[in-house]
Amino acid sequence: MTSPTEHLDPALRVEALASLLAERGLIDEATVETFIKTYEQSVGPMNGAKVVARAWTDPEYRARLLADGTAAIGELGFKGPQGEHMVVLENTPAVHHVVVCTLCSCYPWPVLGLPPSWYKDPAYRSRVVREPRRVLAEFGLELDDSVEIRVYDSSSEVRYMVLPERPAGTENASEEELSALVTRDAMVGVARVTAP
């Protein structure tokens, strides 16, 4: 078993594992490249942003999204690993949702891609279930005391995504323009979407 006293440089460990697995035909360069390209180029927060922009501009879609997140997100073609069952949480002026995985770093890959550093960091995982208002303020999101905070800890295979509030001043924006405003951080619930 790996010993805590003998730290191996992780990049070197990866190279060693990859070479051992490759020579036994258990992994190959093409598969590795395909995986990396997929999560660098095709699967990321731009997918979730399309879902949000659609929900902001199409009330019927929004209703379907809140009733059955998996199906409504699937309508836009987004599905796959870490998105087996999606639940969408709607932020309002009165209620603010924020999502975490305290036990690992579960995250809705099909709509948000792979999690950012701050989401995987012990400070976020440990604190947001204990002092969310303080954590959000540290991120720069000051919520009025009247806003109720609801924290979701993703401990099963259900994946949560936040539907942020549409910013004021975007009444004439197109769906495409709106999707360009939506950030990953807003869809986890640690930021607001702001108008340009």
Specify whether 106 is catalytic.
yes
81 SS3 class: coil
Considering only 16-24, 48-56, 58-66, 163-171, which stretch makes contact with other proteins by CB under 8 A? 16-24
Tell me 38's DSSP state: I
* 37: enclosing H helix or E strand: helix 29-37
Q: Could you say whether residue 46 binds other proteins (CB under 8 A)?
A: no
Q: Would you give the binding string for other proteins spanning residues 61-100, x where CB under 8 A is met? A: --------------------x--xx-x-------------
Specify whether 146 is catalytic.
no
| Least Å from the CB of residue 182 to other proteins | 13
Query: Which residue among 60, 94, 117, 142 contacts other proteins (CB under 8 A)?
Result: 117
**CA separation for the pair 100, 106 (Å, rounded):** 8
Within 134-193, the residues that bind other proteins by CB under 8 A are 134-135, 138-140, 148-158, 183-185, 190-191
| Least Å from the CB of residue 65 to other proteins | 16
Residue among 86, 90, 126 nearest 105 (CA): 126
Query: In the complex with other proteins, which residue's Cβ is closer, 73 or 191?
Result: 191
**CA separation for the pair 97, 163 (Å, rounded):** 9
CA–CA distances in Å: residue 14 to residues 27, 42, 62, 162, 192: 12, 24, 43, 34, 37
Query: In the complex with other proteins, which residue's Cβ is closer, 1 or 168?
Result: 1
